[in-house]
Amino acid sequence: MIRTLLIILMFVFMLKSFSAEKTAAQVADKTIERSDEPNRTASNTQAALDEKRNEAVESVPTTLNNDGNRIADGEKTVTANDADKAVEKLPPPPNVANRIGVDVNRPVALTVTDVIRLALENNNDIRVAETDVKIAEFNLRSSRGVFDPVLQSENFYERSVTPAASSIGGGADGKLKQTNFANNFTFRGSLPKFGGNYQLDFNNSRQTSNQLFNTLNPQYTTSLNFTFTQPLWRGLKTDDNRRRIEIAKKNISLSDAQFRQRTIEIIEQVESAYWDLTFSLKNLQVQSDAVKQAVAQLESTRRQVEQGVLAPIEIVQSETQVANFKQNLFTAQEQVANAENNLKRISLPNRNHPYWSQPVIPASDISLEVPRISLPEATRVALENRPEIALAETNREINQINNRFLRDQTKPRIDLIATYRADGLSGTVVNNNAFAGFSGSDPELRDRVDELSNIVGLPPLPVAPPSPLNNVPNNLRGGYGRSLSNLLAQNYPTYQIGIRVEIPVGNKTAKAELGRSLAEQTRLGYERQQTEQNIEAEVRNSLQAVASAEERSKAATDARVAAEKQYEGERRQFAAGTSTVFLVLERQVTLVNAQGREIETLTNLNKVIANLRRVTGGTLERVGISLRIAIPRYEIPNGK
């Protein structure tokens, strides 16, 4: 009888305890659902929390006091107003809007195409590469300028007085006085083909002298001298001038390939920085939502501790969770600033651009289409499009140009030299020279002698034949015009033609230079093979990275979905009294990490896709950019 009574009492006590636990679970479930309802994704967590904070909350009937016992009728119960006040007591989320140097109220939304356009227009590295192309064009013009003819003029006046030991070499006073006014011109240049060079000299002078034996004073001398030199062996097919021009042409192609390469690298960097910023902002949202969820869980834990459902130590665990999530939040905020500044650094022209004071909001879809291309096709495209291959080919062509020139330098030099000269001369005939007394050519003196002879009845003086020493042809009598006329008439020509041979003995320098150039040719061949191997490895690695990143992204999505389910399940078990705060917080950490990894793997997939376009040389075509090989004709400075 007593045993039966005891069994009945135990059964009644168990029913009462079970009813109390069930009621407590309902209270906890209602409280958490009002204040700590997380969403399934990071994107709508804030909206859901705001909705829970604003919606009207129904009263939560409870039948437990702080000791966990059922309260009697007439005692105080927890109503809807009490629940609203509890939600209002939640601390606000941490202030993550305190950004250094940017006004969060003036955001600018940019797509990845917008950022690439900004970089192409403003990036200083691209501007440097573009300037290198201009420099290469000017270098080509400079090299071609060696064939520009040169006109040179030399004008001078000279007066000299020198002592003379005899009257034959000077004047009667023992001094030789001379003046010379000269005006000379030279026109010279080289031919762009076959290595020939020419020089034309035109000399003019007016000379006066007190020398007693001068028959022309002043006298005008003119001369025209033309010299042409043509290499017949060394220097016929190539020379240093033509080599420099050919190399300058190749350097334009070299600079263009370097410009393409640098542009592709900058675009890939811009895309990578853009997706880094996208990840940082989304991760910041995830961490912000995690802090809000942790704060809501903390308040829920506090209420349950106040109601006696949980031990006070559980509050410490929730507070630790909030503190840890806050650390992650501010770390994410710093990552946003770093990623945004890096993107601005490579896409803006200078530090005064207005975008520096505005936060950048990525507007492009984070989900990109994964390219499907086989390894052989990707390798073929890369070898055709990569600027490194064009650089290697241009370097090989430059080496061949040097080889031809240096091989030519080992040959003897044989030049054909032809010269033609024409001279002109004129002047005023001098009658009082040293020969006049012997020839009787002074007309005044002869006439006076004849007059005196006639008075005394003597015959006139016989006419003496003119002295050949004092006879001046009529075509030499006159001024500068007569001299120039004699020059143009080519009355006094001079011709010369000959061969000049130069044989360097040993010629060690030229042979050594050729050997070095041939060794460089071998080195360039090895470098070409190494470049192709590097491209092959990059293509393989990039394709593998894309495939792995795609699978990691799928796995991260699955992990996030599973973490959400685990978290939801753990919360329900906690509400039912079959779990602990520690397990709920652990599931929350797992969910936050899974959400961050999902975003990270998706942005990393976009980055490896951009890298695949770079290694296959398809970046420019993919973003719709065409770089012209033709170099514009830039204005040459006039030197002012």
Q: Lowest-confidence range among 88-92, 277-281, 576-580? A: 88-92
What tokens appear for 567 in the block? 């978290």
Q: What's the pLDDT tens digit per position in 88-136?
A: 333 444 455 578 888 888 999 999 989 998 998 888 888 888 888 889 8
At residue 58, the pLDDT reads: 32
Q: How far is CA 603 from the centre of its chain?
A: 27
Contact 460, 453 (CB under 8 A): yes
Q: Lowest-confidence range among 266-270, 306-310, 441-445, 508-512? A: 441-445
Bridge partners of residue 229, in order along the sequence: 197, 417
547 has a pLDDT exceeding 70: yes
At residue 98, the pLDDT reads: 73
Burial category of 610 from C-beta neighbours within 10 Å (exposed 0-12, middle 13-18, buried 19 and up): buried
Rounded-to-integer distance, Cα 118 and Cα 112, Å: 10
Q: What's the pLDDT tens digit per position in 235-268?
A: 999 999 999 999 999 998 888 888 888 888 899 9
At residue 162, the pLDDT reads: 84
At residue 629, the pLDDT reads: 43
Rounded-to-integer distance, Cα 562 and Cα 557, Å: 9
Cα→Cα distances 138→25, 30, 149, 249, 541, Å: 84, 79, 19, 11, 40
Give the helix ranges, DSSP H, for 496-507: none
At residue 212, the pLDDT reads: 73
Rounded-to-integer distance, Cα 418 and Cα 420, Å: 7
Q: What's the CA dihedral at 124, 130, 135, 140 to 10 degrees? A: 170
With both helix axes pointing from N to C terminus, report the angle between 387-409 and 240-306 in degrees, rounded to the nearest 10: 160
Q: Lowest-confidence range among 14-28, 438-452, 550-564? A: 14-28
Rounded-to-integer distance, Cα 164 and Cα 212, Å: 11
Q: What's the pLDDT tens digit per position in 444-494?
A: 767 777 777 778 777 877 765 555 555 778 888 889 999 999 999 998 999
Largest CA distance in the chain: 210
Rounded-to-integer distance, Cα 23 and Cα 309, Å: 11
At residue 67, the pLDDT reads: 35
What tokens appear for 236 in the block? 């016929």
Bridge partners of residue 153, in order along the sequence: 185
314 has a pLDDT exceeding 70: yes
Q: Lowest-confidence range among 1-5, 32-36, 588-592? A: 32-36
Bridge partners of residue 421, in order along the sequence: 225, 494
What 3-state DSSP class applies to 188?
A: strand
What tokens appear for 623 in the block? 């973003």
For the chain, the average pLDDT equals 80
Contact 202, 393 (CB under 8 A): no
Burial category of 575 from C-beta neighbours within 10 Å (exposed 0-12, middle 13-18, buried 19 and up): buried
411 has a pLDDT exceeding 70: yes
The secondary structure element, H or E, covering residue 2 is: helix 2-35
Q: 547 or 459: whose pLDDT is higher? A: 547
Which residues, including other chains, have CB under 8 Å from residue 140's CB and lie 6 or more apart? 245, 248, 249, 251, 252
Q: Lowest-confidence range among 204-208, 222-226, 368-372, 617-621? A: 617-621
Contact 406, 247 (CB under 8 A): no
Domain ranges in the chain are 2-88, 108-136+244-272+305-317+331-406+514-622, 145-240+411-508
Rounded-to-integer distance, Cα 156 and Cα 245, Å: 38
At residue 577, the pLDDT reads: 79
What tokens appear for 15 in the block? 């029913």
Q: 172: pLDDT confidence band, cut at 50, 70 and 90? A: low
Q: What is the average per-residue pLDDT within 155-175?
A: 77
Q: Pick the closest to residue 105 from 357, 279, 280 (CA basis).
A: 357
Q: Which CATH number fits domain 108-136+244-272+305-317+331-406+514-622: 3.30.300.20, 3.10.180.10, 1.20.1600.10, 1.10.1530.10?
A: 1.20.1600.10
At residue 623, the pLDDT reads: 66
Which residues, including other chains, have CB under 8 Å from residue 441's CB and lie 6 or more apart? 431, 466, 467, 470
Q: Pick the closest to residue 279 from 208, 340, 356, 232 (CA basis).
A: 340
Contact 83, 34 (CB under 8 A): yes
Q: 555 or 583: whose pLDDT is higher? A: 555
Rounded-to-integer distance, Cα 511 and Cα 551, Å: 60
Q: What is the average per-residue pLDDT within 229-234?
A: 94
At residue 254, the pLDDT reads: 86
Q: What is the average per-residue pLDDT within 310-317?
A: 88
Q: What is the average per-residue pLDDT within 421-433?
A: 83
What tokens appear for 218 in the block? 């002043």
Beta strands 360-362 and 108-110: pairing type? parallel
Amino acid letter, 18: F
DSSP assignment of 301-337:
HHHHHHTTSS-THHHHHHHHHHHHHHHHHHHHHHHHH
Counting DSSP H helices and E strands in the chain, the numbers are 15, 8
Which residues, including other chains, have CB under 8 Å from residue 429's CB and lie 6 or more apart? 215, 216, 472, 477
At residue 198, the pLDDT reads: 96
Three-state DSSP string of 99-142? CCCCCCCCCEEECHHHHHHHHHHHCHHHHHHHHHHHHHHHHHHH
Report how far apart the first and last C-alpha atoms of the chain are (Å, whole number). Answer: 126
Contact 631, 248 (CB under 8 A): no
Q: What's the pLDDT tens digit per position in 390-406?
A: 999 999 999 999 999 99
Q: Is 194 left (phi over 0), alpha (psi -120 to 50) or beta?
A: left
